[in-house]
Amino acid sequence: MRLILFRLIGILEIAGGFYGVVAALRRLLPLGSPHESVVALIALALFGFVLVAGVLLIDNSERGVRMSRWAQLLQLPLIATPIFSYALHSGAFVNVYATLQFATRLGIDWHVGSQGFLLAAGGPAVSRLGINLLALLSWLVLKLR
């Protein structure tokens, strides 16, 4: 069972990491503003890290397990505030979040076969904080082996 779960996590990391690297390269190559280039380089580094972690995890390497734990921790938070925004997902996500308005509202969002990266010094007018439950579950599987 452990091997099946590790392989599933590795496959999601490889697929999302590869797709993320390609998307980051597409953002990076038409050299735009320095800010956009820096964000694209950070995305390229993060998705490259996730891709390597997935390959090493599929290879059943202890280093791959450690790297995959870090990769899952990087995907855990979902922060979208008017001051700062950060989100990362590679392969799939199940986000549970709270929209912070006059009345707090809980929500859930999910997608499989995708990648995404958001890093900004600003964000939406309505704040949203949450966690990626799939990343948390994957981290626990990798930690409690």
Contacts of 81 (CB under 8 A, 6+ apart): 123, 124, 127, 128, 129
Determine which helix (DSSP H) or strand (DSSP E) holds 51, and give its type and residue range. helix 34-58
pLDDT of 54-97, one tens digit each?
Answer: 999 999 999 999 999 999 999 999 999 999 999 999 999 999 99
Determine which helix (DSSP H) or strand (DSSP E) holds 140, and give its type and residue range. helix 133-143
pLDDT of 95-139, one tens digit each?
Answer: 999 998 888 899 999 999 889 999 998 888 889 999 999 999 999
pLDDT of 2-19, one tens digit each?
Answer: 889 999 999 999 999 999
Query: What percentage of the chain exceeds 90 in pLDDT?
Result: 78
pLDDT of res. 56: 97
Instruction: State how far the Cα of 59 lies from the Cα of 96, in Å rounded to an integer.
Output: 31
Above 80 in pLDDT, residue 32?
no
Above 80 in pLDDT, residue 31?
no
pLDDT of res. 86: 95
Contacts of 80 (CB under 8 A, 6+ apart): 87, 118, 123, 124, 127, 128, 129
